[in-house]
Structure 1
Amino acid sequence: MYGALTDEQYLTSTARDAGVMTAVLTRHPLTTPVPSCPGWDLAELGGHLGVIHRWARDSLASDSPPDEGQPPSREELAGWYRDSADALLSALRAARSDDPCWGFGPHPRTVRFWLRRQAHETCIHAWDAANAVGAPPAIAADLAADGLDEVAGMFYPRQIRLGRREPLGVALAFAATDVGRVSVLGEGEPVATVSGSAEQLLLGLWRRRDLAALLADGDVRMDGDTAVAHAVLAEQLTP
Structure 2
Amino acid sequence: MTTRLTPAAYIDHIRSESARFRAVLADTDPTAPVPTAPEWTAADLLWHVAAEVQHFWTYVLETRPTAPTEEAYDEPERPKDASYQDLLAHFDELNARFIKTLEQTGPEEPTWSWSQDQSAAFTYRRQAHEILIHRLDAELTADALTPLDPALAADGIDEILDVFYGGKPEWATFAGDGRYVRVDAVDTDTRTWVELGLVSGTRPDGDRLEDEPDLSVLSTENIPADTEPDVVIEGTAADLDAWLWRRRDDEGIRVAGDRDIYDSFRALTNQAIKDDD
User: Is the pair's TM-score, using the shorter chain for normalization, greater than 0.5?
Assistant: yes
The equivalent position to 2:98 in structure 1, one of 88, 95, 98, is 88
CA RMSD of aligned residues (A): 2.5
Contact 1:192/1:229 (CA < 8 Å) preserved in 2? Answer: yes
Provide the rounded CA distance (Å) in 2 between the counterparts of 1:171 and 1:134.
Answer: 37
How far apart in 1 are the matches of 2:133 and 2:37?
11
Higher fraction of helix: 1
Letter matched to residue 150 of structure 2: A
Alignment length, in residue pairs?
228
User: Which whole-Å CA distance do the structure 2 matches of 1:140 and 1:13 have between them?
Assistant: 9
- Structure 2 residue 266 is matched with structure 1 residue 227: no
Q: Which deviations, in whole Å up to 9, do the C-alpha atoms of 1:130-173 show, x marking residues without a partner?
A: 12112222111100010011112211133x5499xx99965422
Q: Percent identity?
A: 26
Other structure's SS at 1:39 match: strand
What is the SS of the residue equivalent to 1:172?
strand
Work out whether 1:55 is the aligned partner of 2:68. Answer: no
Given that residues 144 and 198 in structure 1 are in contact (C-alpha distance below 8 angstroms), is that contact kept between their aligned partners in structure 2?
A: yes
Q: Look up the match of 2:248.
A: 209
CA distance in 2, matches of 1:19, 1:167: 43
Q: Confirm or deny: 8 A CA contact 2:231 2:255 kept in the other structure.
A: yes
Q: 1:29, 1:237 → 2: CA distance? A: 27
2:49 counterpart of 1:39:
no
CA separation of 1:18 and 1:71: change in aligned 2, threshold 3 A: farther
Which consecutive residues of structure 1, in runs of 5 or more, have no partner in the other structure?
A: none
Question: Residue 67 of structure 2: SS of its match in structure 1?
Answer: coil
- The answer for the alignment partner of 2:271 in structure 1 is 236
Q: CA deviation at 1:68?
A: 6.3
Give the alignment's TM-score, normalised by structure 1.
0.86
The gaps in structure 2 that reach 5 residues or longer are: 195-214, 224-228
Q: Distance in 1 between matches of 2:25 and 2:254?
A: 36
Q: Would the aligned equivalents of 2:20 and 2:135 in 1 still touch at CA under 8 Å?
A: yes
Aligned partner of 1:230: which letter? D
Cα offset, 1:20, TM superposition: 1.4
1:150 and 1:4 map into 2 onto residues whose CA distance is: 9
Instruction: Output the CA distance in 1 between the equivalents of 2:131 and 2:23.
Output: 13
- Structure 1 runs of 4+ aligned residues shifted over 4 Å read 166-171, 187-190
Alignment CA distance shift 1:8-1:71 (3 Å): farther
CA contact (8 A) 1:3 1:150 kept: no
Out of 66, 72, 79, which is 2:78 matched to? 72
Q: State the secondary structure of the residue aligned to 2:255.
A: strand
- Conservation of the 8 A alpha-carbon contact between 1:205 and 1:237: no
| Structure with more of its chain in strand, by fraction | 2
